[in-house]
Structure 1
Amino acid sequence: MRLVKTTTVRPGTRLGKAIYNDNGKVLVNKGVSLEERILKRLNELNITYIYIDDKQTEGIEFKDPISPQLRQEAVTTIKTTLKSVIDEPISSKSFVLEKSVKQYQNIIRNIISELDSNSELMSILSDVCIHDNYIFTHSLNVTLYSLAVGMELNLKPAQLETVGLGSILHDIGKVTVPKEILLKPGRLTDQEFDVIKTHTTEGFDILRNSYSVPLLVAHCAFQHHERLDGSGYPRGIKGQEIHDFAKLIAVSDVFDAVTSNRVYRSAMLPHEGLELLYAGVERQYELNVVKAFHKAVAIYPVGITVELNDGRKGVVVKQNAALSDRPIVRILEENGEQVEPYELNLEEKLSFVIIGCDTTFKEHQNK
């Protein structure tokens, strides 16, 4: 399979990976012939990228970082909790959350266990799924990224659990933001953005008043939009005033936000999101956290077409541990001409580097 931009796919192409919604329901199954009406619907749903099958990329499979069952349990728990909390008055929101804390803790432990047993680099392609509400899947993705980075930083088990809980609940304050602002398709006014900013303090209040939630988890929600140079919110604190866990979650939060499709902009590809993080190093984000993120997360996910500095093109087949920008590539083209496919391990061939990605569907792919 390979990853391509939905708008470039020809009718009749076969889907390489099923498309699900947040409830775990298959909306378009693997192997389905993508007729014009299906492609039109996918574009209407803002699915920017999809996996397709072709002969040149047979045997290439994208592996999700956690099992479908655990993902569904996590998203369902987030969705159920937030919907319960949103319907309660301010004074009762912490009490309602209290009922779900143990379930969240079990989910975090199970995620840590599955990530620990998976030797693959973290790879999430948010944009190849249909999401009923961005906040649910965003909270889980930020958790997965944060835990992967925490493991790379050698955090202790108890610290990982705190980071995980802080990540999965980092946006809980958004239950207090009016839907017409939270889901607004256009640019926010200054007044509307001020309302959005309140989710950090509202989340802090909900979490700190919940008996079972560690205070540090509440501070993760409070500080995940703070920046090293003081340009963040809600308090504009700087450097060491920001807790290390909040700095970690901030990086994961930004990366998932920019690599997810939103109603007001298209998703970046992972390597573009990483470039954005590096552009903010020392000014907004800690260098050691961004470096750990770079090592732990697959920047060129399996299935994406890449171009090398010598003009060759191919599809990423597999990741090399701790070398996210040096995967194994199945070479398909040399100097614009198709060749008999062969694999090139960039970990062993250091003179070759990836200089770009191509997600355009080409006619020869199914020949």
Structure 2
Amino acid sequence: MRWIPIMNCRPGMRLAKKIYNEEGMVLLQEQVEMTDTFIRRLIERDVSYIYVEDERTEGIVAPDLLSDETRIMANKAIRQQFMQHMSDGRARKRRLDHDMDATVSGMLDNLVHDISKHNKAMVMLNDIQTTDHYVFRHSLNVCVYTTLFGVYHGYERDQLKLLSMGALLHDVGKMHLDPLILNKTSPLTKLEFDMIKKHAEYGYRILREDPNIPRIVAHCAYQHHERLNGSGYPRGLTSDSIHEFAKWIAIADSYDAMTTNRIYRPAMLPHEALEILYTGSGTLYEQWMLSLFRDRIAVYPLGMSVKLSTGEIGIVAEINSDYPQRPIIRVLYDAEGASVPLGTELDLSQLLHIMIVEMVDVE
């Protein structure tokens, strides 16, 4: 399979990986032939990239982190909880008594179980899903990233579940913001940005008042925009005053926001987002946490087409777990643009003089 930006998709290409709808159900199956209509609708629904079939990439497979059952449960839980937290008071609390136990708790058990099976895998969210609400998809992505890093860090299952819940609900306060400001395409005014920043406080109050939500989960919502040097919000907390869970969520939140299409800008590539995160190492984010993030994140996704410093063009065929920034490249074209025999691969962890210089579109 080959990873391509949706803008590079052409009619006649065939999907190599499922695309899911907003509820986590399969929208388009593998081997579906893409049409102008499919491409246009996926762009409209904020899909950034897809995987397509390519005989030159045979054997390159991006694994799913979540089972179909868990994905459906997660999407249902996010929508249910966020929408119910928009309801007022008494009616909301009555419903949550049952729903928290039946939906969120069970879903988190499944999610932790699925992710724990990938404790040696490189982090790469391969599930492709349309969305009708950015916050819902972002919340699931941040939950998956944060849970993965909780597994890598070695948290016990009970702690993992708390961390996952905190990540899942970290942005629940945004449901109380004006959608016109939240979805504004032009730069925010200072007043509008101050209103956006209120979501951390709103989320804390909402979750603190819910008898089914552990207090630490409420603090994850409260603190996920705090930064080590005190430059964050809403309280300007510094390093030791910020809970460790909130520090993990802050990294995942920033990374997913940068690598996802937004109303006001296109998605960054993973390695670009990682470079920006590292500019805040030790000042905004814990250096040791960023180091673990860097060592486990697949900055060049499987199937991505890249150009090397030698002029050769190829596909990312395998991620080196010890050196994720230096994957194995299946070469397709030499420096002159001539096709090379299939099976020619370069292990960049062994060829330190060769660098990936850019992502390219391969026909």
TM-score by length of 1: 0.90
1:349 match: 350
Q: Does residue 234 of the first structure (1) align with residue 212 of the second (2)?
A: no
| 155-164 or 68-77: bigger deviation | 155-164
Relative distance call for 1:319 and 1:97 in structure 2 (3 A) is farther
**Higher fraction of strand:** 1
**Match of 2:226, SS?**
coil
CA distance in 2, matches of 1:97, 1:195: 27
1:247 match: 247
Is contact 1:120-1:319 (8 Å) kept? Answer: no
2:329 match: 329
| 48-57 or 234-243: bigger deviation | 48-57
Across the aligned residues of Structure 1 and Structure 2, the Cα RMSD in angstroms comes to 2.2
CA distance in 2, matches of 1:45, 1:158: 36
Q: Does residue 59 of the first structure (1) align with residue 30 of the second (2)?
A: no
Is contact 1:146-1:164 (8 Å) kept? Answer: yes
Relative distance call for 1:28 and 1:91 in structure 2 (3 A) is same
TM-score by length of 2: 0.91
Q: Does residue 286 of the first structure (1) align with residue 291 of the second (2)?
A: no
Is contact 2:142-2:167 (8 Å) kept? Answer: yes
CA distance in 1, matches of 2:214, 2:139: 18
Relative distance call for 1:205 and 1:96 in structure 2 (3 A) is farther
Which structure 2 residues correspond to residues 1-367 of structure 1 after superposition, within 5 A? 1-86=1-86, 88-90=87-89, 93=92, 96-102=95-101, 103-118=103-118, 119-125=120-126, 128-335=128-335, 336-342=337-343, 344=345, 346=347, 349-351=350-352, 353-362=354-363
Structure 2 residues without counterparts, runs of 5 or longer: none
Offset at 1:323?
Answer: 3.2
**Match of 1:323, SS?**
coil
- Partner amino acid, structure 2, of 1:29: Q
- Partner amino acid, structure 1, of 2:233: Y
Is contact 1:17-1:52 (8 Å) kept? Answer: yes
Offset at 1:353?
Answer: 4.9
Is contact 1:94-1:207 (8 Å) kept? Answer: no
**Match of 2:62, SS?**
coil
Offset at 1:12?
Answer: 2.1
| 42-51 or 200-209: bigger deviation | 42-51
Offset at 1:343?
Answer: 5.3
Offset at 1:96?
Answer: 4.4
CA distance in 2, matches of 1:133, 1:181: 14
CA distance in 2, matches of 1:262, 1:358: 20
Offset at 1:171?
Answer: 0.9
Structure 1 residues without counterparts, runs of 5 or longer: 363-367
CA distance in 2, matches of 1:292, 1:190: 35
Offset at 1:239?
Answer: 1.6
- Partner amino acid, structure 1, of 2:123: M
Tell me the matched-pair count: 360
Offset at 1:273?
Answer: 1.3
Is contact 1:225-1:250 (8 Å) kept? Answer: yes
Relative distance call for 1:352 and 1:120 in structure 2 (3 A) is farther
Greater relative contact order structure (CA < 8 Å, 6+ sep): 1
CA distance in 2, matches of 1:339, 1:99: 60
| 254-263 or 96-105: bigger deviation | 96-105
CA distance in 1, matches of 2:208, 2:93: 8
Q: Deviations over 1:65-87 (max 9, x none)?
A: 1112211110111101211221x
Offset at 1:7?
Answer: 2.4
Offset at 1:25?
Answer: 3.8
